[in-house]
A and B are shown apart, each in its own frame.
Chain A
Amino acid sequence: MDSPLLRVRNLSVTYPGDDGDFRAVRNVSFTVGRERLGIVGESGSGKSTTGRAIMGLARPPARVQADELLLGEIDLRTQSERQLRRLRGKRMAMVLQDPKYSLDPVMRVGDQIAETHRTHLGSSKAEARAAALEMLQAVHIRDPERVYGMYPHQVSGGMGQRIMIAAMLIAGPELLIADEPTSALDVTVQTQVLSIMDELVRERGMGLILISHNLHLVSSFCDRVLVMYAGQIVEICDAGSLADAQHPYTRGLLAALPELGRKRGELPQLQRDPAWMDDIAAPLETRSRKLGA
């Protein structure tokens, strides 16, 4: 792997609470290269919080700590809010679950894409418009001119998410974080949106972090998968070999999934071991290498 796009070492996110602090993310370390990295976990596993912390979107009262948080050569820990805002969109971008909430309802979708281009690249109105139209074409929208002038409520969920991707990628970021980008979509549309994201990420040589609860989706789409439980990474493995996962949590999750063509009277239920909650001492990056060898 050449020099990683993102390097995270011992990232922790803590929320202060009435009965002590809640550690949503605990000492998470990983790197992202020009690849598709999946983060899977159940609700409360800290997977979304990890994504938001990287983007600098984990706001107070949350406390973010890390020994290292490098986007290329930039130390994200020392960036001011203003500098972070400039980085978001230009160097790293995020796609969220529901385009309904991410798009401005009173602005034409094309203008929203063009505006990102203008803010980050300082282009003229005409240049931005041309770039936006090109981007709409890149996300396989047939009639970009017409879609450019539509308002968010006029587009379907799948197209809304494609527009979101266009807006996020127009300034040419090198890292895209997609947090459950297709969970609000129908299954047949899901695969289309993922294909488009896949195509663009490959063409542009970007890094992608796909955060999802869906094991099948992540293992079929990504190159590597991180499995998170209770704020920690319990396993890192190649997506193809998820079936050979070592950690009992990962194995339990896989077994609990109903499968077409494998009818079982009773699904094996996940038995949670309290020991999984304990802090993992050894940094996982090394452990996964051992596993891979």
Chain B
Amino acid sequence: MSIILEHVTVSYGRGAKRFDAARNVTLSVAEGEAFGLVGESGSGKSTVLRAVAGLIAHAEGRVELAGEAMGKRRTTAQRKMVQMVFQDPYGSLHPNQTVDQTLSMPIAIHRLGDADRRVSAALEEVGLGPQHRFRYPHQLSGGQRQRIAIARALILEPRILLLDEPTSALDVSVQAEILNLLSRLRREHGLTMLMVSHDLAVIAHLCDRIAVMNRGEIVETTTAEALAAGNVSNPYTQQLLRSNRGFDPSGGELDLLGSDAIR
């Protein structure tokens, strides 16, 4: 098993004000598998991803990556094992740094050496050329930025790649290119992937097994085939499936308004 989560809980606040962003999440992902977490905003899917990444120091429960239990603070070697691609290609690159600077930093941190060759190899891997190397993010398109973010994650040769809605900020045509790139990289590097998305079609395209999250908990774990066949048991999953098919002109949606959501 490449990723094992046991009873992972992330909570904020104390006492009566305690709020569990993720509650008692248990899942495991095999080496080389692509696993999807699907849910709406506030479902806790990104929280789980960040707990796996080691960005939430106060997460409770057990996180085991590539056979190694993670402590509260990750070592540099542990950091190298897991990398992440973020949702917003505009926010995940430093605005004042060229692609070259962005890609060189991880090499310098881990003292990998041979920076010049590694940077150009990483660019080539994600389908960009030397002409992109010294550009600033504002000189790149959204799809190109996301490619840089993927290159930055891969330059450390991680075993596990975490994807936080990697295509939701992109146009449909660019989304297809990035999804194809991710499939290819997974195949070529034998990467284990954990992907978060609200789009069932996107997640079913890339992932084999899928967990549906609602209000911080996993409500159902299923497969892409079962989802496609509509073969799901949980009512929330069924509702999500209906909504993903687009607008239903029969007007059955107004019945769902029972819960007037008020914050």
Contacts and interface: CB of A to CB of B under 8 A. Distances in A.
In their complex, do chains A and B touch, with some C-beta pair under 8 Å?
yes
Contact of A154 (B40, B198, B202, B263): B263
Residues of B in contact with A, size category: 35 or more
A107 interface: no
Interface string A175-200: 00000000000111111101110110
Contact of A267 (B142, B180, B200, B256): B180
Interface string A40-68: 00110000000000000000000000000
A136 B132 CA distance: 52
A213 B180 contact: no
Contact of B247 (A150, A220, A268, A270): A220
B16 interface: no
B243 A188 contact: yes
Contacts of B256: 188, 191-192
A245 interface: no
Interface string B223-258: 010011100000000011111111111010110110
Identify which of B142, B241, B246 gathers the most chain A CB atoms within 10 Å of its CB: B246
A213 B247 contact: no
A270 B176 contact: yes
B261 interface: yes
Contacts of A266: 180, 183
Contacts of B257: 140, 142, 192
B247 A217 contact: yes
Contacts of A213: 171-172
B41 interface: yes
B172 A257 contact: yes
A187 B254 contact: no
Specify which of B180, B224, B242 lies most central, judged by the most chain A CB atoms within 10 Å of its CB. Answer: B180
A191 B247 contact: yes
Interface stretch (A73-81, A155-163, A276-284): A155-163
A261 B200 CA distance: 11
Given A42-B171, A141-B260, A154-B263, A199 B251 contact: yes
Q: Give the residue among B224, B242, B256, B261 with the most A Cβ atoms within 10 A.
A: B261
A215 interface: yes
8 contacts: A140-B257, A187-B198, A192-B253, A192-B256, A195-B254, A213-B171, A263-B204, A267-B180
Given A191-B256, A192-B256, 13 more contacts: A153-B263, A188-B240, A188-B243, A190-B243, A191-B248, A195-B247, A253-B172, A256-B175, A260-B204, A260-B244, A260-B245, A264-B205, A269-B177
